[in-house]
Structure 1
Amino acid sequence: MALLERRQSLLKAVNCIASQEGVHAIPVVVVNGNRFDEQLNEELRGDARIRYLYCNEPSAPEAQLVGRRAVSTPYFAFLDDDDELLPGALLRRIEALEKYPEAAFAVENGYRHQRGQDEAVIDDMEQLNDRPPLESLLETNWMASCSGLFRTVSVGEQFFQNPAPYMEWTYLAFRLSLVFEARFLSSFGYRINVTENSVSSSESYLEGVVDVLTRMLEFDIPHGIAKTLRQKRVAALHNLSVRHLDQGDLRRAWRYHLRSVASLEGLRYLGYSRQFFLPSRLGVDADR
């Protein structure tokens, strides 16, 4: 992102926090790494509305942990510098947590903004209150970086340690859902500005999906949940195999294929093995 655009989006994020009505919200801005604009950095340091923090490691999860450690209020939330909170978002979430003291966090619906259009992140957020959060999470990820408000006394910094490199908010939602109750709000409280350079189709991201699902399976979880996670993990491995086979990398494709069929959930992909022995794959003239 160009410097001017970055400055505008970051200051817009700060403004939408500081201007939240009915609450006293303190923007905690964490600057990390050593690649930043000095002028913008000094502007942030001099902004009396914010609490400025710096960490050496150029890592978003590390910045989130640093920010969590700095929390001294009853509630906290997150906001990426290119997204925005909509008016009244924090007040609605606080009211939900005060009304439902058994809930450790509240999650609000929001918009995904792409190509000039807003679309709802979740079609029917309210119905999620009728189901265990872990169960609904397996169908759709309802936790975005800016969708939640967390009760400080419940959601400690340990939940932000050893984060997943990809799908970190899904992983956080999973960990929280194992031990806490949640409250879901159908109101629209945030807007995620989707860029064209999405990482969700990259190989690293697809490998990250496998990593997250593997981590989840290490927890003590109900049998039905574990079965669904194994199915998702097998499907992710199969997708990686297909990707590498399409790219002509038979060795890596075969390796992922073997991993995908190494469990009962992967037996449905056994027939895919034929793809590796087609004459065109083996360099054999089929007419001979």
Structure 2
Amino acid sequence: MQIKDETETNLVNLRRTIYLTIMSSVDFEEAGHKLLKIKLEPGQEMELCIMLLECCSQERTYLRYYGLLGQRFCMINKVYQENFEKCFVQQYSMIHRLETNKLRNVAKFFAHLLGTDALPWHVLSYIRLTEEDTTSSSRIFIKILFQELSEHLGIRLLNERLNDSTVQDSFESIFPKDNPKNTRFSINFFTSIGLGGLTENLREYLKNMPRLIMQQQKQVSDSESDDESGSSDSSDSGTASSESESNKSSSDESDSDTDRRRRKRRRK
């Protein structure tokens, strides 16, 4: 007989062990060494990531200890990196439920992982910076996230990273170009938090947007006029062919009449 534990006692004990190990360690290296000794079943790596993020959010102020520990696990195994990506998506989707202190700690934690390249930057594609898609909590999260990134990397290096052509698609939702309203909102947001230098390309795009719209409209009108001229040419050729056919048929009829007259004369 196989007994299945439905009370999740083992999971509770695992979380308790992870929590005590994190809180009792002197530095992140000792904590990482102890946590790696814990035998985790396949799929339980997510529990370690959740507990690390939960302990970080419970602190009164952000401790760099948690960021370094999360960075170490992301570097050790790609499984932890993928799990922290899932944690980022989950935390941002439920960011309105967090208090301001927890929200700040979580934002600084993920900013540390992004700034050290422990977490891939394509996770930012989940953030859509528009007036309709953000709340007050999510705006505070984005503000702290980018301010911490600018402190880690510097405004120049951060701007180069955001303008990198290899990951440009991941930032289209943060720097939208689909609508002038959304573009202005993004520019005003980053300017208000002191990072207006990140929106230079966006400002240039907004400045040239009327000219681009006129070019697109001109191209559409030119293509429509080409289609109309092509249809008129085809109709003209059709009428010309029909006229030539009618002329040919009339000439054939006149030839046949002359032949008949000649035959009658010969008989007479």
* Bin of the TM-score, shorter chain as denominator length: 0.3 to 0.5
Q: Which has the higher contact order (CA 8 A, sep 6+)?
A: 1
**Please, what TM-score do these two structures have when normalized by structure 2?**
0.33
Q: Highest CA radius of gyration, 1 or 2?
A: 2
TM-score of the pair, normalised by structure 1: 0.32
